[in-house]
Homo-oligomer: A and B are copies of this chain.
């Protein structure tokens, strides 16, 4: 993982406060775990009411968690008062998202003044099962200044 120097020493509080305002995170039961400079981890316990037709987590729900992880990884490297919006992302679904717990881990690949590119992986685990990679994302985030 690259060693980033965050321009805002208060980055973690700012990320956590923004996450609290993402109402969909509470709706689906996602929890913000680690927040580091350029790296964020979000967890989602498996729930049957979030599944697709075969009983796996819907690709869009996996995406919701990984997108937020990418967005907050980008936000951790922004100056005070800046916000992040998702420009676009692409995600490959690699394995059925079944198990007890989904963990999304996002890392900044390049932080620019306006555009930040992040990579995010999602893993499922459960029971005696080791973590299994279920999805991988490449995302483009944009910094929006002066809204605070």
Contacts and interface: CB of A to CB of B under 8 A. Distances in A.
Nearest to A84: B53
B65 A140 contact: no
Contact of A89 (B22, B58, B90, B136): B90
Given A88-B93, A142-B115, A49 B63 contact: no
A114 interface: yes
A98 interface: no
A33 interface: no
Report how many copies the assembly holds: 4
A31 interface: no
A22 B51 CA distance: 6
A59 B120 CA distance: 15
A91 interface: yes
Contact of A24 (B60, B91, B114, B133): B60
A94 interface: yes
A10 interface: no
Interface string A49-65: 11111100011110111
A140 B61 contact: no
Nearest to A135: B88
A120 to B, nearest CB: 11
Interface of A: 18-19, 21-24, 26-27, 48-54, 58-61, 63-65, 67-68, 83, 85-95, 109-110, 112, 114-115, 117, 119, 133, 136, 138, 140, 142
